[in-house]
Structure 1
Amino acid sequence: MANGAPVRAPSDNTDGVATVGMGHGARTRRAARTAALLSVALTASLMAGCTGHGRDDDRAPHGTATPAPSRSAVAGSPLAVKIDNVGAARPQTGLGAADVVYVEQVEGGLSRLLAVYATRLPRAVGPVRSARESDLELLRQFTMPTLAFSGAQRALLPLIDRAPLRARSPDEAPGAYYRDPGRAAPHNLCLRPSALLPAAPGAAALTTGFRFGPAPSGGTPVSARSVRYPAARFTFTWSAGRGGWLVAMDGGPAATTDGGRPAPATVVVQHVTVRTSRYHDVLGSRTPYTETVGSGRAEVLRDGRSYDGFWSRPTAADGTSFTTADGGRLGFAAGQVWVVFVPGP
């Protein structure tokens, strides 16, 4: 991509994203100003890539006028980033710093990640991709979270606009995004979190309902656990040396550009209802909708063991609680949590 090209999230055959970002009232208000700024916004940032090691990778590019967010607007509010997970998007950047990584099924049986940051902000995150309707329900558990995403299907944009969150696509915050010249679009859009949040809000912003503490009694020793979608596969292998579950995707070890192989301390396999939504991509494939309000079975992996239990989230404003078969609290191990949503009772 030539220097000075505007930050844009192009449409692609997988997502069918018809426009970028909010694309409605907010775009109209900012169109004149943004057009003048975008022509010079990326000259420095294009050289940095998604690695997080470029000279300007923790600052907005020169020439943009993206204002620093006020602390009052984001106090106690985490950052959620929609992250690409097809082969061309790997290795990702910034996954190791996330407090929670949600894995969901999207069109074509593929997978996508939603990473939530509260205790620390990495210098870069990416590749950033488009949002889904399910994300809006999932993020209701947080207080006005900031959602970083590349865009969305046109019909979904009004729902995003009305949701209780701070939507920040490249249209809303052009200075927060840049293109990695070493990757092909659309798998090369990267985010500087510090351009959206002044600082990490802290653990109190993680209103997930998760409880951390000692493991319950019982459990079954497990060396590895695999989860399959129609066109994607995850395997979590216990590593005593890392004190976590080494992540593999589609048969190969997962990797990041800035933190090595992810090894979450806790992995949750959450059995949910996945239904067909009213939205679809340009090929006509309907978007799956993952229901995260309700209750169902869950498997919690920690300390090399698997614990069967149940999850419950009465309303969208609630976090999700996890209990053992006898109703006791199912505590998580301290550290990063991956939640994998799988269809099934």
Structure 2
Amino acid sequence: MLAVTLSACVPGAAPVADPEPVASSTPTPTPEPPPLVVSPLRGTLVDPASVAHPALSAKIDDHEDARPQIGLERADIVFEELVEGGLTRYVAVWHSDIPELIGPVRSVRPMDPDILTPIGGIVAYSGGQQQFVDMMEATPLYNAVHGNADTEETFYRIDGYDSPHDVVVNAQQLVAEHSDLAAPAQQFAYAPDAAAATAAAVAVGGQQTASLELVFSSSSARSWSWDAASGTFLRSQDGLPDVAESGAAISAANVVSLRVDEVYDYDAEVPRAVMVASGEAWVSIGGVTQHATWSKASMAASILLVDDTGAQVQLAPGTTWVELVPLETGSVAVVPPAPAEAPVDDAG
């Protein structure tokens, strides 16, 4: 023991260093992703940041020279309405998925302020009768009008379409320029998934639906056919499949057909669908169509759908088309699937 003690004190011996402290190995916690929210115009669950911007609505042309439309297949909600000459025109609304370009855009009509006021945000169009433009400019929406000084960078004419069916909008740029505007409120009630929405429709006597045949006038008809493979209704017009400029089929998870009164209180040639009203409706979801009642209490109110028991209709998550079918000149026909053929008995 003495030898060991003395050797530790020998002059010139190197001191023994204290051990280095060991750094903590506790990992930095990964932040939890924000809870998902219901997309207000599509009913799907999304990251809240992805819908923190205004909706963009546009008056979209449905003249045969305006087809195929650009970006229409990516809209959240599309309203189809009767205009002059027995033709129809669309009010399409984008929020969940903003394309680079949308169009062709055309002029506004007198029912558009009632349709778009509850949605808010931005409306893009190419003008119109001054009385109709004044009505739209009186709404809370930002009016982006082709030909105005503030739209020189976002509206332009595109090759491949004849005038006046050639005006398009740089949709992403227009939304970015007005990102301070509020996101839209939810417009319809949604089931958690298509199966739940379809089951609810069946529970109140919904009819199995092969197709939905809609007439707006003697010169304007279209149909929606149930496609089980895609889980959507596919649109046809003039007897041909309706496709967008991208080649994608025009489809809808929900087709909501409202019977509306048409009046001519602003122009003897231009009908106005009366939207602050109520009436009969058919809601087509998941290959089933249920009878319903629609109502809109005020210009700022959303459309309310209730089934024949008085319960609010829940749509399937996805794109919705709202067909404003005139009472006087239009019709709605639900076509059931063809009955299955009986098996052939080959036993003799």
- Provide the C-alpha distance between the structure 2 equivalents of 1:157 and 1:299, rounded to a whole number of angstroms: 31
CA distance in 2, matches of 1:180, 1:81: 17
What TM-score do the two structures reach when normalised by structure 1?
Answer: 0.73
Report whether the alignment pairs 1:333 with 2:316. Answer: yes
Match in the other structure for 2:269:
286
- Residue 233 of structure 1 corresponds to 221
SS at match of 1:136: helix
Equivalent residue for 2:118? 141
Instruction: Report the counterpart of residue 109 of structure 1 in structure 2.
Output: 86
Instruction: Report 1:235-274 matches (<5 A).
Output: 235-274=223-262
The aligned amino acid for 1:229 is: F
Q: TM-score, normalised by structure 2?
A: 0.72
Work out whether residues 226 and 232 of structure 2, in 8 Å CA contact, stay in contact via their aligned partners in 1. yes
Q: Structure 1: which 5+ residue stretches go unaligned?
A: 1-73, 280-284
| Secondary structure of the corresponding residue to residue 241 of structure 1 | coil
Give 1:39-54 correspondences, 5 Å limit. Answer: none
* Code of the aligned partner of 1:219: G
Amino acid at match of 1:146: I
Using the TM superposition, give the Cα deviation of residue 250 of structure 1 relative to its aligned residue in structure 2, in angstroms. 2.1
What is the distance in 1 between the residues matched to 2:186 and 2:52? 16
* Structure 2 match to 1:321: 304
Task: Please say if residues 190 and 315 of structure 2, whose CA atoms lie closer than 8 Å, have aligned partners that are also in contact.
Answer: yes
Matches within 5 A, 1:114-125: 114-125=91-102
Q: Distance in 1 between matches of 2:104 and 2:239?
A: 21
Q: CA contact under 8 A between 2:68 and 2:245: conserved in structure 1? A: yes
Q: Is the 8 A contact 1:140 1:317 kept in 2?
A: yes
User: 8 Å contact 1:117–1:200 — kept in the other structure?
Assistant: no
In 2, Cα distance between equivalents of 1:313 and 1:76: 25
Structure-2 residue corresponding to 1:224: 211
User: In structure 2, what residue type is equivalent to 1:150?
Assistant: S
Structure 1 pair 133/208, CA: closer, same or farther in 2 (3 Å)? farther
Per-residue CA deviation, residues 140-178 of structure 1 (Å, 9 max, x unaligned), is 1123x2110011113333223322211101214111112
Name the counterpart of 2:55: 78
2:160 aligned partner: 182
Q: Does 1:160 align with 2:136?
A: yes
State the aligned residue count: 264
Greater Rg by CA: 2
Aligned to 1:276: 264
Gaps of 5+ in 2: 1-50, 329-348
Q: Which aligned pairs between 1:60-79 and structure 2 lie closer than 5 A?
A: 77-79=54-56
- Alpha-carbon separation, structure 1, partners of 2:178 and 2:285: 26
Q: Distance in 2 between matches of 1:319 and 1:208?
A: 9
Q: Over aligned residues, Cα RMSD in angstroms? A: 2.0
Q: For residues 60-79 of structure 1, give each alpha carbon's deviation from its aligned partner in whole angstroms, at most 9, with x where no partner exists.
A: xxxxxxxxxxxxxx965311
Answer whether contact 1:77 1:142 (CA < 8 A) is retained: no
Which residue does 2:185 correspond to in 1?
Answer: 207
